[in-house]
Structure 1
């Protein structure tokens, strides 16, 4: 029974609150017809000044949204407003005929109280209290400075309406409106603060990251699992500790990077824990790069495919045949130029070679910051991820000119970073991928994940609808900045297999916030590095002990 009440739909209450907000706004509208003003009395009980209506209407609209999101602060706010209305009727300040309506509203709120399970974060409450104190002081000060109100009489005026009465006050001509402006703005800020989702949590600590590192090495972890070890991610563990989700919170959206890592049998529990956390904190849950097999575990959440992970099977890979001619020729060009290669664990890099490779990385990015989220690690060549593998290309003189870093997981290895000196021999990236695939075949690795082919279905066909042609044209124009099309064309040369990946999200109404969060995570500047102890290398995988 309690579970059913907690899951009760709240949209009728949200719709009713939004309707009340519309009616409250009527007195603030210049030239509102008489019937509209009379209708607004159904919810206000007595005429409101335009200043009051101008403030209360958007505040109630925000509360309506809070009701839809099951924010407990919205429930408290509505309860307080209805209780004040009942008190006004009982004291004779309001019409008695409104008492049954107010009593019914109180009954509905009481019945729905278990559904409002998202409580305000203590930081939000403290911020709202500070805002309220500032508003009261600023409004009292403005009222006193206006010259028509003394300090003792200003206090009850503020208490009655935070100065938003619209009453004329003597003094400087611009001061009478200040109390109303300060009070109204302060009220809106307080409402927004109390209804906001919890602030982002701190990244996982070293103990959590070591637990996750062990789960990444589980044979059931897929090729996106290593990217859960990014230093900017927080973690949720399943009830049995056998799986975990790495996520970041941005703009109120909790974005998980790929499927849960660890034992496949425990992933469903990790998903449920993540969704329960989002309900408690008010975050919008989302996943970037969810696998098709796990989509049913996300229950009522929506999803759409946005591309494919590019996979090469070492046991099937060959340079023979006409279809591999471009790759074969690229590799041969580097050999003709005297390029040599080696593959070694990152922890075995000498200090001198590490420094030279970091210079290559800096030149490759031309001073730009490392970016990425779903298929990028961090701490490039810092030794923090000793289980990674590095494929290095040297010119004829033995100087490093390019490198690629691969991270290891239970299922295989995944390309993390691909850097080369500008002006280096053409084909060096293809050469390093071929060398790594050959290395993986010797180590018995099942799969090598190269990149992510976003919108592959759109790029992989010539028969497009009008909308698809527009989308393809946009991708082509944006390619110098996001390299979607050029990366797809590069990967296609290796004749890979593709694994569909999806974006999972709660509601179509969240798309604006979701897009802002995903674009910022993928293309925004990464958080600055902090000193950390190295994570343990995966046991029994390439590059491990």
Structure 2
């Protein structure tokens, strides 16, 4: 057996060295800096730089240092170009000769480390940078013609449109400063563009979505699997094509919704494919709703448990007993009010009934947009998604007053939407859930996944410390807007089991963009997709390749 591969050395030393050079270049250009910093700066630059050049170059190098940490190939290119310019300055006699072996060694070391930077600039980013660069070159030419004094040492800065140290033309004293500011801003825009992660990919196409529909129906897919079929998600597949991850990219964070769908034996490979894709695109990987059993597949990533999926087992559910008294009473109230119900496949809805139910949905949300990501599907009542089932409640005049949509997965059915007319009788939602549990038992579904219980550990704990009490009070006060506590109490009536779900992310340094991405995905408005040419085919219970 060959010996295990040695881990690659970290890039932090190179990033730290780049940041130190940035400080040594920029700080001496500021007024009031210690005199000895000027000498240290000349050790790096070889000869003094104009203040505008030094500050712009220092800021650009600070961005490059961050790009080194993020393994951006553009950062490597930038360091190579700067060292090459330094060598050229030595060859032309502008810098001391003793810098030649140092710069040569640095350039050789960078060349040996080139494979450590797999995140290459996306073609779209390169095109934007080329356009920006063309404008900067024009500015550089104008600055050179107007002010002169261009040398090899200032090629990088002048090419960025920073101007030069020559005297301004009569009547145009403002132009040198304007070119300097514009050039510095342009240089920073250029560097930032090249170091940016890839733009978000387009959603998966219909052939991909049909493949995923087959994987969702695999017996090993869990109860969050149907939500991978949202039409705003892109996909990455395991090498054998037997598992897939649906994800969206927002603010440079690639957020996977739940565990991979498909064959459990291929899920770990799908995770590896997702992480490898994130490494080459520069995206920060994250998961919203990962199960406990799959956490080891994500390796050294950080995890935060943020709540539990509420699951009822039809084989263990019964309305009898004192603990189910509230649910029995709710169901009885609807029967006394003359409420009737039925459960139908979504694709069998007539156009007239569909319009009535959409009106119920609109009045239930008071005109607000549909929201959600990890446990919400799109295309409400269109019949687009395979395996969608609708439980409908009618009043005594046979008018629909509430409905719930469920979607099927390998392990059961999952609640997607729960809508009730504001004037409908209390207990209708409990009635439809009970009937769906009975339906699931009759059709061999082993689980019914209901709403998500966020922060259940906090809400279900009677012995709270000081921080826990403060957190509980915050949830209680915010409940009219976020409905965390009321939804937890509603779910609790069914005596369910709970499946912990986690947020998985790469590093605590990602927490700000991660929070922005997750909050936007869960609470931002869902953009309607373009109408599909035809519905997805009904799921099959075997894997297609």
TM-score normalised per structure 2 = 0.94
Equivalence map 1:102-121=2 (5 Å): 102-121=103-122
Distance 1:97 1:466, change over 3 A: farther
Tell me whether 1:270 sits opposite 2:270 in the alignment. Answer: yes
Aligned counterpart, 1:192: 192
Equivalence map 1:131-530=2 (5 Å): 131-138=132-139, 140=141, 159-160=158-159, 162-165=161-164, 168-170=167-169, 171-530=171-530
CA contact (8 A) 2:260 2:267 kept: yes
Q: Distance in 2 between matches of 1:37 and 1:43?
A: 10
1:198-245 alpha-carbon deviations (Å, 9 max, x no partner): 111111111000000000000000000000000000011111111011
**Can you give the 5+ residue segments of structure 2 that lack an aligned partner in the other structure?**
none
CA contact (8 A) 1:166 1:177 kept: no
CA contact (8 A) 2:345 2:387 kept: yes
Distance 1:537 1:61, change over 3 A: same
4+ residue stretches of structure 1 with deviation over 6 A? 155-158
CA contact (8 A) 1:139 1:178 kept: no
Q: Distance in 2 between matches of 1:19 and 1:477?
A: 48
CA contact (8 A) 1:221 1:263 kept: yes
Distance 1:423 1:28, change over 3 A: farther
Q: Distance in 2 between matches of 1:156 and 1:263?
A: 57
Task: Give the aligned length.
Answer: 535
1:451-492 alpha-carbon deviations (Å, 9 max, x no partner): 111111111112222222232233223323322222111111
CA contact (8 A) 2:347 2:382 kept: no
Q: Shift of the alpha carbon at 1:269?
A: 1.1
Q: Shift of the alpha carbon at 1:366?
A: 1.4
Aligned counterpart, 2:20: 19
Moved more, 115-124 or 34-43: 34-43
Q: Shift of the alpha carbon at 1:97?
A: 2.6
SS in 2 for 1:130: helix
Aligned counterpart, 1:81: 82
1:30-87 alpha-carbon deviations (Å, 9 max, x no partner): 2111012222222222222221122111211110111111111100100111111122
Q: Shift of the alpha carbon at 1:157?
A: 10
CA contact (8 A) 2:147 2:166 kept: no
1:419-442 alpha-carbon deviations (Å, 9 max, x no partner): 111121111111111111111111
Q: Distance in 1 between matches of 2:155 and 2:292?
A: 61
Distance 1:33 1:157, change over 3 A: closer
Aligned counterpart, 1:90: 91
CA contact (8 A) 2:147 2:167 kept: no
CA RMSD of aligned residues (A): 2.3
CA contact (8 A) 1:258 1:289 kept: yes
SS in 1 for 2:175: coil
CA contact (8 A) 1:51 1:166 kept: no
CA contact (8 A) 2:28 2:34 kept: no
Q: Shift of the alpha carbon at 1:304?
A: 1.8
Q: Distance in 2 between matches of 1:491 and 1:123?
A: 47
Equivalence map 1:532-543=2 (5 Å): 532=532, 533-539=534-540
Q: Distance in 1 between matches of 2:462 and 2:176?
A: 67
CA contact (8 A) 2:136 2:183 kept: yes
Q: Distance in 2 between matches of 1:204 and 1:188?
A: 34
Q: Distance in 1 between matches of 2:442 and 2:362?
A: 32
Q: Shift of the alpha carbon at 1:98?
A: 2.4
Q: Distance in 2 between matches of 1:474 and 1:99?
A: 63
Moved more, 524-533 or 182-191: 524-533
CA contact (8 A) 1:289 1:502 kept: yes
Q: Distance in 2 between matches of 1:365 and 1:319?
A: 30
TM-score normalised per structure 1 = 0.94
CA contact (8 A) 1:393 1:403 kept: yes
